[in-house]
Chain A
Amino acid sequence: MKKLINKPEDVVKEALQAIAIAHKDMVKVHYDPNYIVRADGPVKGKVGILSGGGSGHEPMHGGFVGMGMLDAACPGAVFTSPTPDQMQEATKAVDGGAGVLHIVKNYTGDILNFEMAADLAKAEGIEVEAVVTNDDVAVQDSLYTAGRRGVGVTVLAEKMTGAAAEQKRPLKAVADICRKVNAQGRTMGMALTSCTVPQAGKPTFDLPADEMEIGIGIHGEPGRTRMKLKTAAEITEMLVNPILEDLPFKSGDNVLAFVNGMGGTPLIELYVVYNEMAKILAGRNIKIARNLVGSYITSLEMAGCSITLVKMDDELISLWDAPVKTPALRWGI
C-alpha cells in the first residue's frame, strides 16, 4: 500500500485537523463527536443543512460546508457511516431556529444512523426533516436490493438546497428543492481501478489491467459488471444512455451535466469524457445549461468517473448560480 499517510488509523483525524486550520475562515471542526460546521453559524432564521457519510469521498461532504451550501458535515471512518451522536450534536450546532434538513445518501448504514440521530434530535425539540438521495441507475430499485445508491446528485442537491436555505426559505420549501433535484437527477459510474482503504491495507477488489467495472458505487465495492476496457467514447455511451433512458430525458431538456472523477483520474481524462458526453447530448437535442467537471465525490484513489445529469428549470438554474463559499466550491463571492 503506497499512500501519503502516517498511521492508517489516524488518517481521518489528521485530515480534520488540517481542514480546521487550512479553512478556518470558512469552517470550524468539533472532535468527539467529530463534525465540521460553518464558522459563522448557526445562522438565525435559516434552515440548517446537515449531511455526512464515510470519509474517503473528499471533498464530499466537509469540503461543502460554508455559505450557500452545508451548515455541517459529519465524517465517519473511511467508507463507514458516521454515528448518531455525531449527527445529533451537529444538528444542535446548526439549529438557527428554523429547523434542520438532513441530506442522507441511500446506503443502509447512512439511513440507519441518520434515522437514529433524527429521533434523538426530535426528542430534544428540534424540527428535523430528511431527504434521501438515490440517483444511481446502476442498481435496480426493487424489493430485492437496498435501493438505488445516493451518488453524484448529492453534490448538486447540496449546492441548490444550500442556496434555497440561504434565501431564508422555510424548512419544507428547502426540503422540496432537495427532493426535486434528486427526483430529476440520474447518475452512472465506472472504475478503471479499485481503491485501498488505509486500515484494510490492500485494494478492495482486483481489477486486471485490461478490464473495467461498470456501475460502481463510491465505496470501492465491485460494480454490476466487469468487462474489457473500451474507449472513452464507448464508455461514455455506456454511462449516458442508461441515464437518459431512466428519467427519461427528452429532446429540448435543459440539463446540469456533472462529470465527476473518482479521485484517481486526471482532469484531462474527465474532459475527454465530457467531450464525448456533449456530443451524445447534442445529438439528442439536450442542452447543457450548466456543468461541473472535477473530482467532487470520490472513492479515495479509485480511477474512474461518474456522470450525473439533472433536468433543470429557471429556479434550479438560479439556485445553482447563487453565491457559494466553501473549501471545494466557490463562486459569486
Chain B
Amino acid sequence: MTVLRDDVIAWLGAFADAIAENKAYLTQLDSDIGDGDHGTNMDRGFQAVRAKLPELADKDIGSILKTTGMTLVSTVGGASGPLYGTFFLQAGTSAAGKLELSLADWTALLQAGVDGVIMRGKANLGDKTMVDALVPALQALKEAAAKPSDFAACLLASADACEQGMLATTPLVARKGRASYLGERSAGHQDPGATSSHLLLRAAAQAWADAGN
C-alpha cells in the first residue's frame, strides 16, 4: 500500500485548509503566550503553497516537499517559517525522486523532517514546542509500523499521539521561543506550534485514509 504523488498534493491542500479554518484559533493560542501572529503567518505561507500546487503536479514527491519548504521559508517569517520550512526541505530531501511513498518511506521522511526541526530550533522534549507533538507522533508511527498494520492505521496512531503530545504541552513552562519570556505564566496554555503540527499530521491521516485503495 502506498501514497501516491497526487495524495501528497491532496495532503498539502488539506493542511492549507485546516490552517485557514483554524487561523483565528492559532492566533488566539499565540496571543496567550506569544505575539498573536502564528495563525496569520501560517495561513499566508500555506496560501502561497496552495497557489504553487498545480505547477507541482508532475514533479517527484521530493521536489513537491522541497518547493513547499522554500515557499514557507520566504513567506511565513518568524520562527515558524524556518522551522516548518526546514521540516519540508529535509522531508523533501528524504523523498528525492520518489513518485510514491511506502510506509517505510513516510517514516523516513517524517524522521528527516523532525530531525530538521530539532537541528534548526534546538528544542528538547518538554520545552513546550512543536517538538513535543512531533516526536511522540514519530515514535507512535514507528511502533505501529513494527507491528503488522496497514498504512492508514499507522497514520491514525501517529496523529493520535501527536494530539496527545499537543495537549500535554498545556501544563509545561516554555523554555524556547517567545513563550519562554513569560516564565511560569506560559503554563496552562496549549502551545500554538504543537497545535499546527497536530493539524499537519491529522491532515495526512485523513487525506490518506484510503491511500493506495
Contacts and interface: CB of A to CB of B under 8 A. Distances in A.
Interface of A: 33, 54, 76-85, 107-109, 112-113, 115-116, 138-140, 143-146, 149, 197, 199-200, 204-205, 217, 219-224
22 contacts: A33-B74, A54-B78, A77-B77, A80-B77, A81-B78, A83-B73, A83-B77, A109-B81, A112-B79, A112-B120, A113-B77, A113-B78, A138-B181, A197-B35, A197-B37, A197-B40, A199-B37, A204-B36, A219-B35, A221-B35, A221-B182, A224-B185
Interface in B138-179: 173, 175-178
Nearest to A198: B40
A109 B129 CA distance: 14
Contact of B74 (A80, A85, A108, A204): A85
B61 interface: no
A145 B180 contact: yes
A197 B175 CA distance: 25
B98 interface: no
B78 A139 contact: no
A109 B181 contact: no
Interface string B13-49: 0000000000000010001111111001100100000
Contact of B181 (A85, A146, A199): A146
Consensus secondary structure, chain B interface: helix
Nearest to A86: B74
Given A79-B35, A149-B181, A84 B74 contact: yes
Q: Which 3 A-B pairs have the closest CB atoms?
A: A219-B35, A112-B82, A109-B78
A200 B31 contact: yes
Residue among B37, B74, B76, B181 with max Cβ neighbours from chain A (10 Å): B181
Contacts of B212: none
A112 B83 contact: yes
Contacts of A140: 183
A78 B175 contact: no
B77 A116 contact: no
A82 B77 contact: yes
Nearest to A79: B35
Interface residues of B, number: 34
A285 B49 CA distance: 59
Consensus secondary structure, chain A interface: loop
A108 B178 contact: yes
B75 interface: yes
Given A224-B181, A224-B185, 7 more contacts: A80-B78, A108-B176, A139-B180, A139-B181, A144-B180, A145-B181, A221-B181
Interface in B45-91: 73-83
B181 A83 contact: no
A99 B77 CA distance: 25
A108 B78 CA distance: 8
B40 A199 contact: yes
Contacts of B75: 83
Contacts of A219: 34-35, 178
A79 B74 contact: no
A30 to B, nearest CB: 15
Contacts of B181: 138-139, 145-146, 149, 217, 221, 223-224
A222 B188 CA distance: 14
Contacts of B180: 139, 144-146
A222 B185 contact: yes
Nearest to A113: B82
B35 A83 contact: no
A219 B40 CA distance: 15
B73 A204 contact: no
B73 A224 contact: no
Contact of B44 (A77, A84, A204): A77
A224 B186 CA distance: 10
A197 B181 CA distance: 19
Contacts of A80: 37, 41, 77-78
A204 B35 contact: yes
A109 B77 contact: yes
A108 B35 contact: no
Given A84-B73, A113-B77, A116-B73, A107 B40 contact: no
Residue among A33, A81, A219 with max Cβ neighbours from chain B (10 Å): A81
A79 B36 contact: yes
A81 B80 CA distance: 10
Contacts of A84: 73-74, 82
B27 A83 contact: no
Residue among B32, B37, B178, B182 with max Cβ neighbours from chain A (10 Å): B37
B35 A220 contact: yes
Interface string B114-152: 000000110000000000000000000000000000000
Nearest to B124: A143
Given A112-B120, A116-B82, A200-B31, A220 B77 contact: no
B187 to A, nearest CB: 13
Contacts of B77: 54, 76-77, 80-83, 109, 113
